[in-house]
Amino acid sequence: VTSIGGSGAEVTRNVYGSWYHNADMHIPAKYGIHQVIGDTAGPAGMMMGLRSIPAYMHICKRMESRCPNAILLNHSNPMAPIMRALHKYSSITSIGICHGVQGGIAAAAQLLDVPAGELECRWIGTNHYYWFTAVCHHGHDLLPELMKRTREQTAPEAHAMSADLSAAYGHRIVYPDDGHIIEFYPFAAQVSGQQALPYALAESARNHGYDAAQPMPERQPASSQVRAEFLTEYARILDAVELPERLDDGIHGEGLARLISAIARGRRQVCILNLANGSAIPNLPASAEVEVEAVTETAGARALTMGEAPHVLKGILEKRFVWQELVADAAVKGDRNAALQALLIDEMAIPPRQAELMLGELLSASADLLPKFSQPSGCPVQSARALLP
């Protein structure tokens, strides 16, 4: 399951392309916000969080009464708001798992022509949005060479914007996937339509299931036939599973098996995880959700020291942490004003009155999954189909 509660379907294995996520993309487009993936930031990232977090809180409440010492492992997006809600509102130990940093290390290794497993790296950031602060190979500092090659070599089409941003900041973006990086910048709210998105982002959006030229898909309830088709497909996927070509090395993949084994056996293992910052990055808030190296222990994992965030990156990240906090609070409390504030602090922000209208449409489209959100007087819940062009 890639997104608990995110798609709203009773049976689903992918939120992208679902009816609810399409609403999250089509509605903001009416207001001039043309998103690409929509699972980390922006209006769509917020809505995915508002739908997902209550489901996670329900799971945590059951865990608190039945298995309070168990550890919850989360793979779902939006990773940081979900993790902030879990850490703030539940006593259950929770750990977020992603492969973005691993993919970024592999991309850097390819650019440097060295094996990924031989690089020693440090980085600063939150899920899907981080920068290298150190890259070493056998004791040699390769960060200057990495930046030189980033500036001089032609980046793959899907990484071109990340390369340009890296050159501008003087820090290499770890996970050079433009489809995710665009969510942290205002460019999606500065174009006339999907096809006008810069770089190869229009194609990236279509590849993730959102084609602005296509009408909203029909909303279909999860019938017995849909469930049967899902189970048949799932069985086919399981039958096709084979042993991996290589052992889990912590770089090629998310290292889930290594993580579970290490915690269960009380073995110290360094992993890449999403955790509360604590003092890992000393000049960022202790409650900030960061993706860091961590060492396992029987109680879960502890973040390792990553060093201070450079000044320019610190400012960018602190704004994201506020957004993540607002989304977590809005989801847990059903706080419409916190959701509006999240839209207004986001990089894709539009003027307040338009943002409030957009929020009303977004909440109405997901009203059946957001029972904690009450509609203000004079603004009854409308049919989601009526809200869309």
pLDDT digits (tens, 9 = 90+) for 81-103: 999 999 999 999 999 999 999 99
What confidence score (pLDDT) does residue 364 get? 95
Averaged pLDDT for residues 334-346:
98
Q: Please give the residue that has the higher pLDDT: either 15 or 67.
A: 67
Residue percentage of the chain with pLDDT more than 70: 90
Whether residue 166 contacts residue 173, with contact meaning beta carbons closer than 8 Å, is answered with: yes
Terminal alpha carbon distance of the chain: 30
Q: Of 65, 66, 59, 68, which is closest to residue 86 (Cα–Cα)?
A: 59
Quote the CA–CA distance of 224 and 182 in Å, as a whole number: 39
Q: What is the pLDDT of residue 252?
A: 63
Rounded to an integer, the average pLDDT of 9-30 is 79
Q: d(Cα 347, Cα 156) in Å, to the nearest integer? A: 25
Q: Is the pLDDT of residue 148 over 60?
A: yes
Strand ranges, E, within the chain: 71-74, 93-96, 119-126, 129-137, 140-141, 270-276, 289-297, 300-303
What's the whole-number average pLDDT of the chain?
90
What's the pLDDT score for residue 263?
94
Does the pLDDT at position 381 exceed 70?
A: no
Eight-state DSSP code of residue 388: -
Least confident of 119-128, 182-191, 231-240, 265-274: 231-240
For residue 23, what are the CA distances in angstroms to 10, 31, 74, 275?
17, 13, 24, 30
Residue 75: CB partners within 8 Å, gap ≥ 6? Answer: 2, 96, 97, 98, 254
pLDDT band, very low/low/confident/very high, at 216 (cuts 50, 70, 90) = confident
Run of H or E residues at 249 = none
Query: Looking at residue 320, what is its pLDDT?
Result: 97
